[in-house]
Structure 1
Amino acid sequence: MNQPDNGASAPSFWRRPASMALATVALITGFFLLREHWGHVLGYWPYLLLLACPLMHLMHGHGHGGHGGHRQSPERTDNNRE
């Protein structure tokens, strides 16, 4: 039988108590791991920054409009958006 939906829906994953507890444990574990291994992390820091550059270009590089072929009509540009 179908029960009527009176607006009450299940809470999202991050609103559930078990999920909040799991996230808290993960943050505490990450803090202590980083604290104990900070010397190792600092050794790899320049390489991580260099790795972040191409990843950011791949993930966010499509919005700058420099690839041609995707031209806007002259009457509508981003500056006169309503």
Structure 2
Amino acid sequence: MNHDEHGANVPSFWRRPAGMALATAALIAGFYLLREHWVHVMGFWPYLLLLACPLVHLMHGHGHGGHGRHPQATGRAQDDQQ
């Protein structure tokens, strides 16, 4: 059985016409919903920013191996000491 013929050329759902139509309809509905309720959204804006700070810290804090673990180049370290 050859699996390449059955699944290699099938585009993802979002690349199909039905997926594109659904995404477009969702964007339009979101725009009008946000436009009609902008005053309510702006009332929660400071709280959303405060909520986003710890989430961003948790998501980005683990990707680089922590703070202070980057080795310094020997040429730059010698220049700083002189």
TM-score by structure 2 length? 0.70
Match of 1:25 in 2: 25
> Where does structure 1 lack aligned partners over 5 or more consecutive residues?
76-82
Once the two structures are superposed, residues 26-65 of structure 1 have per-residue CA deviations (whole angstroms, 9 ceiling, x without a partner) of: 0000000000000000000000000000010111111262
TM-score by structure 1 length? 0.70
Runs of 4+, deviation exceeding 4 Å:
71-75
1:1-82 alignment runs, 5 A limit: 2=1, 5=4, 9-62=9-62, 63=64, 65-66=66-67
Structure 1 or 2, whichever has the larger Rg, is 2
C-alpha distance in structure 2 between counterparts of 1:19 and 1:60, whole Å: 31
C-alpha distance in structure 2 between counterparts of 1:74 and 1:35, whole Å: 50
> Where does structure 2 lack aligned partners over 5 or more consecutive residues?
74-82
| Aligned residue-pair number | 71
C-alpha distance in structure 1 between counterparts of 2:14 and 2:8, whole Å: 17
